[in-house]
């Protein structure tokens, strides 16, 4: 078993604009990371109190993707789990076959951790780890991009004209299909563009359309070749919650414009913030019969059908915590789920919400409403089944 799975050594130049690093590119990348001005901050976040110069020397010793992932990323993710969670659990991996490439189509709550935690679950289960999609807004030259590409992340372009967007979508779709079917390597991708900030996980038909572009048969057959495994990730305490509700609030009246460095701060806040219990459920892979049903529908109907199938799997895979039920009862002014939590848990949830949102006292009520929706929408979606 190899934590890094199959290092991409056989890729043709056509993928150079989006692919992860090859082994021979790792030494230069490690030198750039170790000399980046943000390196001390990142190391302090993860390894508070350890000597910086020792960490720099450690990085310069990594010569391959595998060495970097085993030597640093595996250790770093476990440190995050130990310091910021009250337990990380996972299930559903028993349905996966070793050596087969799967498309993990996941709800998306944290920029880095959703996919990173999956790698730990795969590794601990004796399975090869996956490649990971990463938005082009994050793949700018610098430490985040180098960390990402060394950790087998590849770039997703989300901007451009209609013509350019179609071209980049086809390019991405072809790469994903190549990785899955030719290299038998798995891929993690979010089921929508960007994080779900309101807790209402809905599969984007745009993402499904992109995945279908590279297929040569009808849409159901195209998807049956991708070995799709819907994935549910659940956090007891939502990461970056105050930033998410603030963005939702500000975007109600006009498009939200991110501040410089906001994505990097969100990554680090996601790493640092207390998460309580975290659970990943890998749903049963989509079977051929239910996918081929889409071949009897027109394209738009087929995409809507496939999105609904994936959504139902993700909703059924949620691990609902006391916080979710408390938020539902608070938002809808009911005691429907009062048997799911204690009075102390209710008080702790309410106190935490007020503490996080109190700095925006002029908008506290609408922000509280959005905050409660983040936690209650998983309950609403589960009930919809």
Mind listing the pLDDT tens digit for each residue in 55-113?
899 999 999 998 998 889 988 999 999 999 999 999 999 999 999 999 999 999 999 99
- The answer on pLDDT for 323 being more than 50 is yes
Which residue reads 């679950």 in tokens? 121
The answer to whether residue 1 is domain-embedded is no
Mean of the per-residue pLDDT values of the chain: 91
Average pLDDT over residues 135-160: 84
How many Å is the Cα radius of gyration of the chain?
21
Q: Are residues 153 and 172 in the same domain?
A: yes
The answer to whether residue 166 is domain-embedded is yes
pLDDT of 4: 42
What is the domain extent for residue 379? 323-384
The answer to whether residue 6 is domain-embedded is no
Q: Are residues 244 and 352 in the same domain?
A: no
Q: Are residues 233 and 335 in the same domain?
A: no
Q: Give the model's confidence band at 2: pLDDT under 50 very low, under 70 low, under 90 confident, else very high.
A: very low
φ/ψ of residue 89, rounded to 5: -125, 160
Q: Are residues 141 and 126 in the same domain?
A: yes
User: What's the Cα-to-Cα distance from 275 to each of 54, 239, 314, 316, rounded to whole Å?
Assistant: 29, 7, 20, 21
Average pLDDT over residues 363-376: 96
Last residue within a domain, chosen from 319, 346, 374? 319
Report the DSSP pairing between strands 228-235 and 153-156.
Answer: unpaired
The answer to whether residue 357 is domain-embedded is yes
Residues 6+ apart with CB under 8 A from 101: 179, 180, 181, 183, 184, 185, 186, 187, 227
Q: Are residues 69 and 198 in the same domain?
A: yes
pLDDT of 11: 57
Secondary element (H or E) of residue 231? strand 228-235
What CATH number is attached to the domain comprising 84? 3.40.1130
Q: Are residues 358 and 294 in the same domain?
A: no
Which residue reads 């038998």 in tokens? 184
What is the spatial distance between Cα 194 and Cα 262, in angstroms, rounded to a whole number?
A: 14
Q: Are residues 158 and 50 in the same domain?
A: yes
Whether the Cβ atoms of residue 273 and residue 84 lie closer than 8 Å to each other: yes
**Does residue 40 sit in helix, strand or coil?**
helix
Q: Are residues 255 and 354 in the same domain?
A: no
The answer to whether residue 285 is domain-embedded is yes
- The answer on pLDDT for 263 being more than 60 is yes
pLDDT of 261: 76
pLDDT of 225: 94
Mind listing the pLDDT tens digit for each residue in 117-134?
999 999 999 999 899 999
Q: Are residues 181 and 216 in the same domain?
A: yes
Mind listing the pLDDT tens digit for each residue in 264-291?
788 888 988 999 999 999 999 999 989 9
pLDDT of 335: 97
Q: Are residues 200 and 328 in the same domain?
A: no
What is the spatial distance between Cα 173 and Cα 215, in angstroms, rounded to a whole number?
A: 9
Whether the Cβ atoms of residue 322 and residue 379 lie closer than 8 Å to each other: no
Report the DSSP pairing between strands 153-156 and 276-282.
Answer: unpaired
Candidates 108, 269, 265, 116; CA nearest to 195 is 108
Last residue within a domain, chosen from 262, 291, 319? 319
Long-range contacts of residues 301-309, Cβ cutoff 8 Å, at least 24 apart? 302/219, 302/220, 303/205, 303/208, 303/209, 303/212, 303/219, 304/205, 306/203, 306/208, 306/219, 306/223, 307/202, 307/203, 307/204, 307/205, 307/208
Which range (25-29, 53-57, 83-87, 221-225) has the least confidence? 53-57
Last residue within a domain, chosen from 292, 319, 346? 319
Q: Is the dihedral of CA 115, 173, 205, 249 positive or negative?
A: positive
The answer to whether residue 49 is domain-embedded is yes
pLDDT of 29: 96
Q: Are residues 118 and 247 in the same domain?
A: yes
Long-range contacts of residues 8-14, Cβ cutoff 8 Å, at least 24 apart? 8/131, 8/152, 8/183, 10/183
pLDDT of 3: 42
Q: For the chain, how many structural domains are there in total?
A: 2
Whether the Cβ atoms of residue 377 and residue 200 lie closer than 8 Å to each other: yes
- The answer on pLDDT for 178 being more than 60 is yes
pLDDT of 41: 83
User: What's the Cα-to-Cα distance from 345 to each of 87, 90, 332, rounded to whole Å?
Assistant: 18, 24, 18
- The answer on pLDDT for 39 being more than 50 is yes
- The answer on pLDDT for 185 being more than 90 is yes
Helices (H), 63-142: 65-68, 74-84, 113-124
The answer to whether residue 361 is domain-embedded is yes
The answer to whether residue 353 is domain-embedded is yes
pLDDT of 6: 45
- The answer on pLDDT for 139 being more than 80 is no
* Virtual torsion, Cα 172, 193, 162, 165, nearest 10 deg: -20
Q: Are residues 235 and 340 in the same domain?
A: no
């Amino acid at each position: 078993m190899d934590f890094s799975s199959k290092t991409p050594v056989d890729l043709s130049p056509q993928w150079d604009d989006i692919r992860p690093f090859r082994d021979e590119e790792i030494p230069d990348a490690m030198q750039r990371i170790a000399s980046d001005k943000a390196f001390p901050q990142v190391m302090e976040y993860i390894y508070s109190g350890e000597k910086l110069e020792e960490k720099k020397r450690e990085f310069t010793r990594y010569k391959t993707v595998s060495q970097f992932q085993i030597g640093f990323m595996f250790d770093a993710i476990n440190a995050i789990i130990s310091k910021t969670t009250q337990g990380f659990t996972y299930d559903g991996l028993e349905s996966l076959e070793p050596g087969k490439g799967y498309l993990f189509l996941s709800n998306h709550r944290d920029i880095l951790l959703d996919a990173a935690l999956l790698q730990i679950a795969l590794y601990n289960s004796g399975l090869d780890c996956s490649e990971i999609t990463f938005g082009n807004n994050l793949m700018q030259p610098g430490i985040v991009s180098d960390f990402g590409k060394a950790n087998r992340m590849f770039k997703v372009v989300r901007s451009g004209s209609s013509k350019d967007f179609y071209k980049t979508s086809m390019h991405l779709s072809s790469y994903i299909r190549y990785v899955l079917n030719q290299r038998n390597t798995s891929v993690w991708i979010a089921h929508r563009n960007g994080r779900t900030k309101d807790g209402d996980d809905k599969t984007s038909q745009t993402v499904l359309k992109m995945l279908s572009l590279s297929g040569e048969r009808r849409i159901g057959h195209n998807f049956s070749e991708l070995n799709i495994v819907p994935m549910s990730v659940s956090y007891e305490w939502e990461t970056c919650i105050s930033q998410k509700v603030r963005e939702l609030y500000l975007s109600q009246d006009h498009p939200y414009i991110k501040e410089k460095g906001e994505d990097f701060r969100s990554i680090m806040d996601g790493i640092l913030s207390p998460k309580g219990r975290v659970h990943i459920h890998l749903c049963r892979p989509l079977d051929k019969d239910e996918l081929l049903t889409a071949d009897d529908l027109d394209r738009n109907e087929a995409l809507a059908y496939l999105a609904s199938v994936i959504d139902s799997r993700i909703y059924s895979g949620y691990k609902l915590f006391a916080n979710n039920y408390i938020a539902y009862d608070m938002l809808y002014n009911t005691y429907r789920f009062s048997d799911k939590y204690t009075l102390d848990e209710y008080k702790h949830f309410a106190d935490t919400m007020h503490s996080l949102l109190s700095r925006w006292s002029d908008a506290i009520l609408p922000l509280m409403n959005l905050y409660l929706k983040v936690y209650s929408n998983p309950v609403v979606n589960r009930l919809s089944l």
